[in-house]
Amino acid sequence: MTARGLEGVVAGTTQLSSIIDGVLTYRGINIDDLAEHASYEEVVHLLFFGRLPTRAELDDLRRQLSALRPLPEGLMTLLRTVPRDAVPMDTLRTAVSALGFYEEHPNDTSREVSVEKALRLVAQVPTIVAALERLRRGQEPVPPPEGTDTAHAFLLMLKGTAPDEVEVDAMNKILVLHADHEFNASTFAARVTAATLADMHAAVTAAVAALKGPLHGGANAAVMAALQEIGDLDGVEPYVLEKLARKERIMGFGHRVYKQGDPRAKWLREMSRRLAERSGEPKWYEMSVRMDEVMQREKGLFPNVDFYAATVYHYLGIPKDLMTPVFATSRISGWTAHILEQYGDNRLIRPRADYTGPTSQAWVPIDQRG
């Protein structure tokens, strides 16, 4: 039997992340433990090398990523030529592809060279996202700071001012929670591309393209747009009920795999609450909680990772159309880890299809076709 959207189909094996009985793990470590204790750099090491780093290894990885963050001058020139009204995900897709021009061994898929490429991408994608946002605002990009973690460096490059501890903690948790998620659409696109032995930048470009879609990474922006359309707390329940009556989809709820709730959502809800308290603008968090309550009551649907992520991003000063590129600043670690895994034990991914079109049709000469 054919499964639409490959729902429930096991398409391969991985040692990177698992979703079993509603529990998400990276390399066997529960996401709750990682969200509470881990830095993003520890998660990168875990995904790439199969274990948590020692203190010395972590310090070395931080130094490597810090040194790799600056972009090639040619790529900065490219970013400066992008129209200011360009869709940020389109700019990111083009920039990731263009980064491949600057690789010394672009088509080498060996483990050693591929790890070097992966680390460069993990370091440089946040720099690209911050730079493209500042350029489209008419501001100069902020050079990557030295000696800081990814969360701090990204917010500094984005805003131009040093973030505080609460903002850095929120950004770090976003990076940890979004780093990997088994065979999601963008990761599978990356693995399918890597399985042809295309270069790493080609595979990541395919992943970015898949992430752009509103049914995948684009859902967070749709959630924030809905909250802004509603406008205030009293408007939430009528909005939801009207949408449900018209059988329209409400973004940020339900998940193909998680039937009893996304384990990442509770961490994002708490981050949204903390940021709301200090923002002087708590209504976005309060509206989210009300919508969550109504959706559970009316449909039995729980929020997924995108729902509370929307308000977290908003409180961090990230505009709606930059939310999905910021998602990519985290997921780049998972994409590249999956590409490394695919290269290491490769077989071309070539599924079959059930043909549902007409059969036994006769050829008709062109002058006899009506």
Cα 12 vs. chain centroid, distance in angstroms?
Answer: 21
CB 253 within 8 A of CB 303: yes
Point out which residues pair with 20 in neighbouring strands. Answer: 23
Cβ within 8 Å of residue 43, ≥6 positions away: 26, 34, 175, 176, 179, 333
Token duo for residue 106: 């672009």
Q: Which helix (H) or strand (E) holds 167?
A: helix 165-177
Going through the chain in order, the beta strands assigned E by DSSP cover 17-20, 23-26, 29-30
Treating both helix axes as pointing N-terminal to C-terminal, what angle do 219-230 and 283-299 enclose, rounded to 10 degrees? Answer: 100
Whole-angstrom distance, CA of residue 350 vs CA of residue 344: 18
Calpha distance 274→328 (Å, rounded): 23
Q: Which member of 199, 262, 292, 306 is catalytic?
A: 306
Active-site residue, 201 included: no
Do 245 and 300 form a contact (C-beta atoms < 8 A)?
A: no
Length of the chain: 370
Distance CA 237, CA 354 (A): 43
3-state SS of 33-47 is HHHHHCCHHHHHHHH
Give the list of residues 6+ apart from residue 96 with CB closer than 8 angstroms, or none.
121, 125, 128, 201, 204, 205, 208
321 flagged as catalytic: no
Instruction: Please answer whether residues 256 and 349 qualify as being in contact, where contact means their C-beta atoms are separated by less than 8 angstroms.
Output: no
Strands 17-20 and 23-26 turn out to be antiparallel
Residue position matching structure tokens 């970015």? 208
Query: Which of 255, 262, 292, 314 is the catalytic position?
Result: 255
Hey, which residues are catalytic here?
A: 255, 306
